[in-house]
Structure 1
Amino acid sequence: MVIQRRPVTQGLQALLASLTGRPVGLRSVPLDGQGRPVPPPYTLLYPLDRTDDTQSLADNQQAAVFTYQATFVSGPTPGVPDSRGGDEQAQWLADRGWKVVERAVTGYTAALNVGTGVTCYRREAQEVGGTSDAGDAIITSVIRYRLFLEEQPTG
């Protein structure tokens, strides 16, 4: 059986929203309850690569590695004319995003729900830069995550 991406994506999206306290849009700007775009700050989550080869000797074809990119978007303060998103805000969001891979003695400090019968046994993160757009008054910080997943045997 192949590990399904959607439950993993939903789990990471929910975890990032919890850690940052801000909305997370999947491939697009998050929307509010009325379907309108939410003003920054927020996070954009992009599913990227997938491989079913964990490159381990014990690979039983029930494992996969999913890669995601999280773009942490700063922005102007709503209602404050001439305010701008800044590096401090973007880094604050990214610092919260690093908590996805934060570990304690007993394992990861933040729970990641990746679906029934699937375990995320390893998480990696790499900061890959960011961008700024003075015209939009935004600055971003970007982290790529690799999630190592395995199906749990049933029965």
Structure 2
Amino acid sequence: MIDRGPLTAAVQDLLARATGRPCGLGELPLVDGEPAELPYAVLYPLGGTPAATPFVDSWAEATLTYQVTVVARRMDQAEWLADRVRRAVLQRTASGAWVNGLEASGLYVWARRQLADDGFDSESAKDCVVSGAQRFQFSVTG
């Protein structure tokens, strides 16, 4: 059986570390107990597709989907952070290795891909907030 929690924690850590900006889990991130300054990211675990293996199979596989929403004051900030998020998750070295490792306790992440980039909500820009969502999928083995 694949536990989602370790992968969620690893993805959240990867985003904060590789982008240099705070990343909340389903909510506004906090920095030293205070709401983070813009721009920041919010990670949402969505759904997944477990492979057809018994729950006791230690080699079970799953494909888990996450949404990363970037929130910024201006469009250029939102685009900057969205680019950093995409690079954090997907960028590879010349030899094909991931630039940013993704270590999830008890799991081996063997594939990553971007499913969607929904662009930015420019309507909210008049309220000094711009947001945009991207969805990523991670294939894991237990």
Asked whether the two chains share a fold, i.e. TM above 0.5, the reply is: yes
Which whole-Å CA distance do the structure 1 matches of 2:130 and 2:39 have between them?
10
Q: Give the aligned partner of residue 88 of structure 1.
A: 76
How many residue pairs get aligned? The number is 133
Deviations 1:79-114 (A, max 9, x none): xxxxxx211111110111111111222421110112
Q: Give the aligned partner of residue 21 of structure 2.
A: 22
Q: Give the aligned partner of residue 82 of structure 1.
A: none
Which whole-Å CA distance do the structure 2 matches of 1:45 and 1:14 have between them?
10
Q: Which of 132, 138, 142 is 1:147 aligned to? A: 138
Q: Give the aligned partner of residue 43 of structure 2.
A: 45
SS, match of residue 66 in structure 1: strand
Which whole-Å CA distance do the structure 2 matches of 1:19 and 1:136 have between them?
28
Give the drift of 1:123: 0.1
Pairing 1:62–2:53 present: no
Larger Rg: 1
Pairing 1:103–2:92 present: yes
Pairing 1:131–2:121 present: yes
| AA partner of residue 91 (structure 1) | E
RMSD of Structure 2 on Structure 1 (CA): 1.7
**Inter-CA distance 61–51: structure 2 relative to 1 (3 Å threshold):** farther
Greater fraction of residues in helix: 2
Give the drift of 1:115: 1.4
SS, match of residue 141 in structure 2: strand
5+ residue gaps, structure 2, are 53-57
Which whole-Å CA distance do the structure 2 matches of 1:127 and 1:106 have between them?
23
Give the drift of 1:141: 2.4
Give the drift of 1:32: 2.1
| Contact 1:130/1:142 (8 A) holds in 2 | yes
**TM-score of the aligned structures, taking structure 1 as reference length:** 0.79
Query: Could you list the runs of 4 or more consecutive aligned residues of structure 1 that deviate by over 2 angstroms after TM superposition?
Result: none
Give the drift of 1:37: 1.5
**TM-score of the aligned structures, taking structure 2 as reference length:** 0.86
Q: Give the aligned partner of residue 111 of structure 2.
A: 122
Q: Name the % identity.
A: 35
Q: Identify which range, 63-72 or 94-103, moves more after superposition.
A: 94-103
Which whole-Å CA distance do the structure 2 matches of 1:6 and 1:113 have between them?
12
